[in-house]
Amino acid sequence: MAVKFWRTASTLRARPLGRLRGVIEQDVLQRVLASAVRTGADFAEVYAEDKRSTSVALDDGRVEQVTSGRDRGAGIRVVKGDTTGFAHTADLSEAGLNAAAQAAATAASQGDGVTRTIALNRSADRVVSPVSKYPDEVRKADKVAILQCIDDTARSAGAAVVQVSAGYGDSRKHILIANTDGVLATDEQVRTLVRVMVVVDGDSGMQTGYQSAGHTMGFELFDKVDVDALARDAARQAITKLKARPAPSGALPVVIKQGSGGVLFHEACGHGLEADAIAKGASVYRGKVGQLVASPLVTLVDDGTMTGEWGAIAFDDEGHASQYNVLIENGVLTDYMWDYLRARNEGRPQSGNGRRQSYQHLPMVRMTNTYVLNGADEPDDIVRATDYGVFVAKLGGGSVDPATGDFVFGMTEAYLIEDGEITEPLREGNLIGNGPQVLSDIDLLGNDFAMGNPGTCGKDGQGVPVGDGQPTLRVKSMTIGGTAA
């Protein structure tokens, strides 16, 4: 049986193939895949990556750590029926790949000894996020200088500032995916990030402020991001909290600022829309395609093609082109997110959501950039329409049960709304609610869409870069877990 490999043609700019093309030759891939399915498997896949990364940490004006690393290897997956075998290796020679392929094949099946012939055809790469300044070609001294600038600016906010921690990170990863379904794809993913945390001390004790910026781009990030503004905002957050009053408790209207609430949708409903949660019966959204699951104002999208955003990819980690996927349209659930195995089992197309942390991990269904589209309301009008409530300028971490949608999220920057105006700052409290209920209770949706801070999504022990965002919106009632009497 001859299996042909192709790459999806792209209207986007083509570029030379990455490092892995010179390390793993096409005829080697052919032989390794043929060997992997010789024992009767249904499917085999080679995922290889070569990743270089740098991180710098600065604490109180001193460089505490500068590290650089490189990780290179391949994971081989073999599937027969409902059984998956997986092995990974740092040895990218033909012998090393074959050993991993045989280990994965043995785990998947005893097989029937049939030989399949694999043929490869090359085509152009697909570029979603072009890079103009590769960070691994930038001097480490220039990266340290960015953090020193952040430290100086944050400290200039006043004597209340007692500690500043800043960090920088970049990575440049080449990936190659080939499988017996005829997929051959390569991608280069370059990400650059900077972050700052400021600690202040006052009569109410110590308070912190945090800001970060990260994009799927190179060192040109710093042509786009004003690091002085980033540092000033982190210091402003912390200093504002020194004057904060306890957050109220009970059910109140909640206005969430643009960009800052995307994580709520990522956690409270995004994970419940991943096809593996649906297949396990672990999602409140199971069996609800075509039903109204949110306010008619809400259209929720997962978009791996969003140029420059933290979750942007040209191909997912199974070689499928990234896509713009509408999950909820005008309140109606339209689809779930899919990887190869779940899509194969359901007889439907993949959605570009098969992702993995590294070559040492199996892919699973994951989000990319998940966000709510713009509405029609002016943000100031949303606040003016709220007599008494809470304005959340920045959400923190939280937890959610995908099976029920119940969640708890921290408010790292919040204010009281009184008589349609934002007034006093509030000490950190919690937002408590249920994802489907919150989606249904969105009664005002702004026209000021923005993406939030870069994030790492954790699932089953794996972390992948993701983005999220939304316009300013109002939820007509949410439970505030504050400490005010």
Q: Of 333, 343, 5, which is closest to residue 182 (Cα–Cα)?
A: 5
386 or 120: which leads in pLDDT? 386
320 vs 355: CA distance, rounded Å: 10
Give the DSSP H or E segment for 392: strand 388-400
Nearest in space to 479 (alpha carbons), one of 251, 303, 322, 285: 251
**Bridge pairing between strands 161-179 and 184-202:** antiparallel
Q: pLDDT tens for residues 296-308? A: 999 999 999 999 9
341 by Cβ neighbours in 10 Å (0-12 / 13-18 / 19+) ranks as buried
Unique residue bearing structure tokens 């191909």: 315
Q: Is the pLDDT of residue 474 over 90?
A: yes
pLDDT band of residue 165 (cuts 50, 70, 90) is very high
Asked whether the beta carbons of 111 and 40 are under 8 A apart, the reply is: yes
Could you tell me the pLDDT band of residue 107, with boundaries at 50, 70 and 90?
confident
pLDDT at 69 over 60: yes
Query: Are 234 and 240 within 8 A, CB to CB?
Result: no
- pTM here is 0.91
How does pLDDT run across 1-40, given as a tens digit for each residue? 233 333 333 322 333 335 675 679 889 999 999 999 998 8
Instruction: Report helix angle 227-241 to 140-155, nearest 10.
Output: 40
- Comparing 373 with 401, the larger pLDDT belongs to 373
345: left (phi over 0), alpha (psi -120 to 50) or beta: alpha
Q: Which of 448, 454, 286 is nearest to 372 (CA)?
A: 448
Average pLDDT of the segment spanning 267-285:
93
Q: Is 426 helix (H, G, I), strand (E, B) or coil?
A: strand
For the chain, list the domains and their CATH numbers: 2-241 (3.30.2290.10), 250-481 (no CATH)
Cα 212 to Cα 192: distance, rounded to the nearest angstrom: 11
Residue 128, Ramachandran bin (φ over 0: left; ψ between -120 and 50: alpha; else beta): alpha
Distance CA 108, CA 429 (A): 49
Question: What is the pairing mode between strands 62-80 and 43-59?
Answer: antiparallel
* 338-347: average pLDDT: 94
Residue owning tokens 């869409």: 449
pLDDT at 118: 44
Q: What is the b/e burial string over 446-471, where b = at least 16 CB atoms within 10 angstroms of the residue's CB?
A: bebbebbbbbebebeebebbbbbbbb
- The angle formed by the CA atoms of residues 37, 43 and 47, to the nearest 5 degrees, is 95
CA angle at residue 453 from 366 to 410, to 5 degrees? 90
Which pLDDT score, from 0 to 100, does residue 3 have? 31
Assign 89 to helix, strand or coil.
Answer: strand
pLDDT over threshold 80, residue 127: yes
pLDDT at 400: 84
Note the pLDDT of residue 186. Answer: 92
How far does CA 443 lie from the centroid of its chain? Answer: 27
Residue 187 has pLDDT above 90, yes or no: yes
Q: Report in angstroms the alpha-carbon separations of 187 from 16, 50, 88, 313, 419.
A: 10, 11, 20, 8, 52
Which H or E run contains 313? Answer: none
- Tell me the two tokens of residue 56: 């710098």
List beta partners, residue 422: 417
- The residues, any chain, with a CB within 8 Å of residue 244's CB and separated by 6 or more, are 204, 207, 424, 425, 426, 427
Residues in the chain, how many? Answer: 485
Phi, psi (rounded to 5 degrees) for 243: -105, 10
Provide the sign of the torsion angle of the four alpha carbons 318, 51, 186, 306, taken in this order: positive
Mean pLDDT of the chain: 90
Mean pLDDT, to the nearest integer, of 71-97?
94
Please say if the pLDDT value at position 455 is more than 80.
Answer: yes
In the predicted structure, residue 341 carries a pLDDT above the cut 90:
yes
Q: What pLDDT score does 73 carry? A: 96
Per residue in 199-249, pLDDT (tens digit) is 999 988 899 999 999 999 999 999 999 999 999 999 999 999 999 999 999
Taking residues 64-69, what's their average pLDDT?
94
Q: Which residues pair with 390 in a beta bridge?
A: 254, 416
Q: Is residue 193 a contact partner of residue 212, using CB atoms and an 8 Å limit?
A: yes
